[in-house]
Structure 1
């Protein structure tokens, strides 16, 4: 592909990429192959950039392995704010093309993961720590710091049937429900870890000294166990597909089998999620993105 550099309208590029190959060139471009060139590729499965021109000559590699055959977006967003900046002698000015829904950086924040209303994230069950085999058990721990509105908090399922087992936020309570049948509710105490533990014949929902047990029908966890045996098994966070959710919440951490999950490693997620920060009160930032 040849670009007319005098007609380029943006300084950024983005694309989705997948491969099983651990090494090779994704993109190479130059204005002079000896003096001015740029290369993006993989080395040992991880991204590497090489740049060579009159101002800079460097090679740098970073990030997770991408040679897993899955689609990856190569432009991860940084969760942060800038202010009082001078760039090349010029004061920062908001561009007319800047999206109107960017959140205000005046909002006081703290570390965490913030899901504004209607946002979601999705992990493949094959990409997170696996259940114990004998006896079969799987646990999820959520550090809830802020909660507002009603809607899904978490679900296990597939893209076609996303709520085989789910946690639903309602009136400052969390409701645990199987795919069909009655669920159970637990009043929330913010600041204490909320734990969901799956066993062969029951699901335990606990927070602090409070514990609720949901006995499973005679088939037990059979259908849910199959989620780990198929590529379509998913862990959903936030609003489910097609759900009109008003729920917003902040997590100080999310753990599967005792290991912290990295939101930047999600299979896909809403760009409006604040991956490393939370507003200090539920009313701040719930209708804005990051």
Structure 2
């Protein structure tokens, strides 16, 4: 059992030690352009970096490992992303734990075995969940909150070898080619880890980051914009429905946000539409072409609907499609033609002409964004890394 465990130690022997969220980790330079990080550091997985590159990592001799159990706490509203990775033989044998559709996903490669298994309850509910990974002879067990278990059995016909050498551990990314995995997923996760235990080891970890970003102590669902960037989509990914209509909906307390909420334009053209909130004037303005519509910023849900030659704008009082406090219909010819090849920016004002460099960035939380009736996942956009795609400070 000890031999098998050391062979899979790359991810299975994980013990994550993190302090209370809300405070960044402190590191000290090690003279190699990397900072040493305590195993008890707070880790925000969505920090700015290459999205597949681990946020922190360490290397340990297999001879130093004497534990077969690891545990940590995870909190996220994000349904998808890499949590931790480990390997031996410089990446020939590896283990990856991630979320996919909010559900834990384990992928394991060892010798001639390649395994993928997912199951259990969804963990992207914004609550703290305790995850424990352990090895029991031929079985790898992932336990969630002391009860839900995901069990993987492995048995190879190859001769069992006594491994020596080093084990690499990484958090928030992987160290192999992503094409080697059975199940592909988006790696970046808007989530935090804390209070773990790594193999009962006290070895230092390393990070290329100048400092680790702090996690908010309390969070709520939504997308948070700190006023430093925006997210851009090609509008062609949102097909026009059979009724020849485009619909965008935004939820949030508009009195607590400031800056451009969204803007739309076609390549090479002047900006077609821009929606912005202004804390100073207490207004929300919708600019389309040379026209401007002004509304009070007491909005909690705004719906924009475009058809062949007009735009409907209404403020809904709740989630009902029929309850609305105001409704405006204005002429807007040519919008659907522009939509088929345009750009949609959330949180900023698109530039002039072919220039997509933004300005007037949004500060605040949008609780939910929908386009064509589907929730918008900002992780799928070209976005500034400072934006939290799935959580806002509460």
TM-score when normalising by structure 2: 0.48
160-169 or 108-117, which deviates more: 160-169
CA deviations 1:173-207 (Å, max 9, x no partner) are: 321111x31311112335x3211111333322221
Matched with 1:237 is 346
Matched with 2:333 is 221
Q: Shift of residue 278 of structure 1?
A: 0.7
Residues 14 and 118 (structure 1), Cα distance of their counterparts in 2 relative to 1, 3 Å cut = closer
Matched with 1:68 is none
CA deviations 1:239-273 (Å, max 9, x no partner) are: 2344443521312221122222222322x112222
Q: Which runs of 5 or more residues in structure 1 are unaligned?
A: 1-8, 16-29, 39-48, 63-72, 281-290
Is residue 155 from structure 1 mapped to residue 269 from structure 2 by the alignment? no
Matched with 2:385 is 271
Residues 213 and 83 (structure 1), Cα distance of their counterparts in 2 relative to 1, 3 Å cut = same
How many residues in Structure 1 have an aligned counterpart in Structure 2?
227
Give the secondary-structure state (helix, strand or coil) at the position aligned to 2:338. helix
TM-score when normalising by structure 1: 0.62
Matched with 2:276 is 168
Matched with 1:111 is 221
Paired residues of 2:263 and 2:348 also in contact (CA < 8 A) = no
Residues 184 and 113 (structure 1), Cα distance of their counterparts in 2 relative to 1, 3 Å cut = same
Give the secondary-structure state (helix, strand or coil) at the position aligned to 1:85. strand
Q: Shift of residue 279 of structure 1?
A: 0.6
Paired residues of 2:260 and 2:361 also in contact (CA < 8 A) = no
Paired residues of 1:112 and 1:251 also in contact (CA < 8 A) = yes
**C-alpha distance in 1, partners of 2:215/2:298?**
28
Matched with 2:298 is 189
Q: Shift of residue 50 of structure 1?
A: 7.0
**C-alpha distance in 1, partners of 2:261/2:186?**
27
Give the secondary-structure state (helix, strand or coil) at the position aligned to 1:166. strand
User: How large is the Cα RMSD of the aligned pairs?
Assistant: 4.1
Matched with 1:202 is 310
